[in-house]
Amino acid sequence: MAIAILFLPIHLHGDEIRVIFPNQQYRRVALRTFYMGNVEYLSGQELAQVFSVNSYVNDDVNKLVLYFREGEVKVTAFSSFIIVNDLALQMPMPTYFDGSEYYLPARAFFSVLGATVLPGARFDDVRRAFVGPDSYTAFNIFSARVESKQNGTLIRVRTNEEFDTRNVVRYITDNGWLVVQVPGGIVDTLAVSRSSLGGIIRSSWGRQLEKSAELRFKLTDRISLPEVYQIAGGTELHITIRNPVRPKGDRTKEMREQWYLDTIVIDPGHGGIDAGTVGRGGLMEKTVTLDVALRLGRLLKRTTNMKVVYTRDEDVFIPLWQRTKIANETGGKLFISIHVNGVKNRTAHGFETWLLAPANTEEAIEVARLENSVIALEESNHAYQEFSDEALILSTMAQSAWMKESEALAAIMQEQLSKQLGAPNRGVKQAGFLVLIGATMPKVLVETGFISNRIEEKKLGQNEYRQNIAEGLYDAILLFKQKYEGAMLAEQNQ
Ligand SMILES: [Zn+2]
């Protein structure tokens, strides 16, 4: 049955009516109302939310059903009749419906509720408030408080009745939410979303299901299923999460099984306002790195079916953290950051490849300092707050899953560049390069030459030399792909 929708100016003259729960003085809630003529209307769905009752909209027959504990209230669009537990009651004016919300004449509807499913509830003219029944407690599950403990995280959920915890459903979603469903629970969803957080819980919210209250907690780490305990007297539910114990190597194995070199991330160092190091002749690092990167990308695209992702493909400034983010979000399987060296000692020349690890020599610290200094150019360095010492250690450890592969890639790259360039092979080195932190894949940073050396600056300015660098890197990637995809697949088949 189709119903003509009346377009009424219901959003004009908006007002509100407070809702008071004598049992829950701390609650400050109000229902928005609208005047049509001199009759004040409110949204049925909003009322359901405030009273924490389920509601159901039947679009076929234009009915709204509210499920109070004391019974069902059925409202029909444009009808003045309300059905409460099969009893038909008539209001002095009809409801309105705007295609999604059902609007009820506030005073008349409050009278119906007070006489039926909310016994004793009344409208207080002085306070312009709808006062719930004295004993009415809309909820039996309230806000949660998360406490960080030595061996895990404790979520204390405030309740006002005892629940049978044997029936509590717990599971963890693929995207890291812990879901706890408490049968018989009626949850104050607003309060739960404002719970105090901590431990491994990043956010929380709740929703009312037909027969259960559902609480959701966003986890920052993988956990096994927590235990749920009822505290005697029914004042709290305790959800206890033990610190994750991750068997060594497990995660690595999992990652290895998924490793197939189909996407390669090429990161041309610097760009835009960050020129990198600049040679005496005026050649800028950012120009060389971009050109070499594009040459390498073209070679890969022309002869393989690998997807090539550039962190930048023009002369723009990209913060370091964003480069890693691009690598992870595009499903990169290999990350190659291309740079050009610059040092005070103008005789230094040749190429070298770097791995992410705590810097262990003066020289390594100096090179890392130079490449990391770009952060000073970034407008806001909030993204690096994560790089506290502890985060650095954790990140380095997480990356150690790919350390073996990164080392192998670096070695192959040095070998292949050596064949191409006829410049000194300065070997594989280690330092704490920020651009390498966070990328969850084998990753290296290559310093293709010294712009601070007059002869090498000249070479780096030539197309032919840049092409040679790109070809060296290209050969290295193909060799690495051949060797490691094979090894990993063989490992899987054992
Ligand atoms: Zn650089």
- Span 10-55, pLDDT tens digits: 444 568 899 888 876 655 678 889 888 889 999 999 898 778 777 8
Has residue 6 got a pLDDT over 50? no
The structure tokens listed for 141 are 């599950």
Q: In angstroms, what is the span from residue 92 Cα to ligand 1's centroid?
A: 78
Span 442-468, average pLDDT = 94
How do strand 169-172 and strand 152-159 relate by DSSP bridges? unpaired
Q: Of 421, 441, 422, 445, which Cα lies nearest the Cα of 432?
A: 445
**pTM metric for this prediction:** 0.47
DSSP state of 434: G
**Distances in Å between the alpha carbon of 245 and those of 147, 197, 284, 390?**
19, 22, 48, 19
Pick the range with the lowest mean pLDDT from 2-16, 90-104, 202-216: 2-16
**Centroid of ligand 1 to alpha carbon of 398 (angstroms):** 24
291, pLDDT greater than 90: yes
Confidence of residue 108 (pLDDT cuts 50, 70, 90): very high
pLDDT band with cut points at 50, 70 and 90 for residue 422: confident
Give the pLDDT score at 163.
84
Residue with tokens 């300065």: 426
| Burial class of residue 339 in the structure, from the number of CB atoms within 10 Å of its CB (0-12 exposed, 13-18 middle, 19+ buried) | buried
The single residue listed with the structure tokens 């306070």 is 127
Q: Average the pLDDT over each of 3-17, 48-62, 310-324, 471-485 and give the range with the smallest value.
A: 3-17
Q: What is the mean pLDDT of residues 228-236?
A: 82
8 Å CB contact between 92 and 105:
yes
Amino acid at 290: L
Quote the tokens at residue 160.
């006002």
The residue length of the chain stands at 494
Dist. CA 342 → ligand 1 center (Å): 8
Q: Which domains does the chain have, with CATH numbers?
A: 15-131 (3.30.457.10), 141-242 (2.60.40.3500), 250-493 (3.40.630.40)
Is the Cα torsion angle 438, 408, 374, 465 positive or negative in sign?
negative
Kindly report the average pLDDT of the chain as a whole number.
Answer: 82
Q: Kindly give the distance from the C-alpha atom of residue 368 to the centroid of ligand 1, in angstroms, as a whole number.
A: 9
| Cα–ligand 1 centroid distance for 355 (angstroms) | 14
Percentage of the chain modeled with pLDDT above 90? 38
Q: What is the mean pLDDT of residues 443-461?
A: 94
Q: What is the pLDDT of residues 331-388, one digit of tens each?
A: 888 999 999 998 888 999 999 998 766 555 566 666 666 676 665 555 443 334 333 3
CA of 45 to the centre of ligand 1 (A): 58
Distance CA 84, CA 78 (A): 17
Region 236-247: mean pLDDT is: 78
Nearest CA among 356, 369, 337 for reference residue 397: 356
Q: Quote the ligand 1 centre to 450 CA distance (angstroms).
A: 11
Q: What is the CA(471)–ligand 1 centre distance, in A?
A: 20
Beta strands 141-149 and 29-36, pairing class: unpaired
Q: Which of 91-100, 250-259, 293-302 has the least mean pLDDT?
A: 250-259
Assigned token pair, 385: 């707050």
Distance 338 CA to ligand 1 centre (A): 7
Residue 153 C-alpha to ligand 1 middle, in angstroms?
Answer: 42
**And the tokens for 409?**
């890639």
The single-letter DSSP state of residue 268 is E
Which pLDDT does position 100 carry in this prediction?
87
Tens-digit pLDDT profile for residues 383-401: 343 333 434 444 444 455 6
pLDDT in tens, 116-160: 999 989 999 999 999 988 877 667 788 889 988 877 889 999 887
Question: What does the alpha-carbon distance between residue 280 and residue 93 come to, in Å, rounded to a whole number?
Answer: 87
Name the nearest CA neighbour of 399 among 255, 292, 193, 277. Answer: 255
Decide if 448 contacts 340 (C-beta within 8 A).
yes
Cα(271) to ligand 1 centroid in Å equals 10
Ligand 1 centre to CA of 337 (Å) is 9
Kindly give the distance from the C-alpha atom of residue 395 to the centroid of ligand 1, in angstroms, as a whole number: 22
Determine the distance separating the centroid of ligand 1 and the alpha carbon of 285, expressed in angstroms. Answer: 7
Contact of 236 with 157, CB cutoff 8 Å: yes
Q: How far apart are CA 406 and CA 429, in angstroms?
A: 11
Q: Measured in angstroms, how far is the CA atom of residue 448 from the centroid of ligand 1? A: 10
Distance 7 CA to ligand 1 centre (A): 63
Q: Which token pair is 248?
A: 């060594």
